[in-house]
Structure 1
């Protein structure tokens, strides 16, 4: 029986998390491709990105879209 190390077991796994990590390390495999990052049409995600670009800080995740829009308006008025 062959000795199996962590890397050989990870290379055989079909878990997309392994595919992402091993791909970054240079061990990409064709059969274990990680799912592409989905570009969601969620307006909240877009507002969070805008807030981070304008203010320079990440927004509080408890804020809803209305609050983020108000914060963005304040930040744009201040600059």
Structure 2
């Protein structure tokens, strides 16, 4: 399967310094790009919350939920009891 060969893909693959200068002016040359913020939830915290959810509710949690959602579902279930 061939990758799309649009203008930007060809320009990024080309070694011509003119492309490097133009793309640098557009902001594509930075090698120090990082995520805007670090994830708030540590893996240990998430593992503990998932284990607590499973102990309280009796089912395994959906792994797409963040820590806030897990805490809310645990507290909802505890409030019902």
Q: Shorter chain as normaliser: what TM range?
A: 0.3 to 0.5
Larger Rg: 2
* TM-score, scaled to structure 1: 0.47
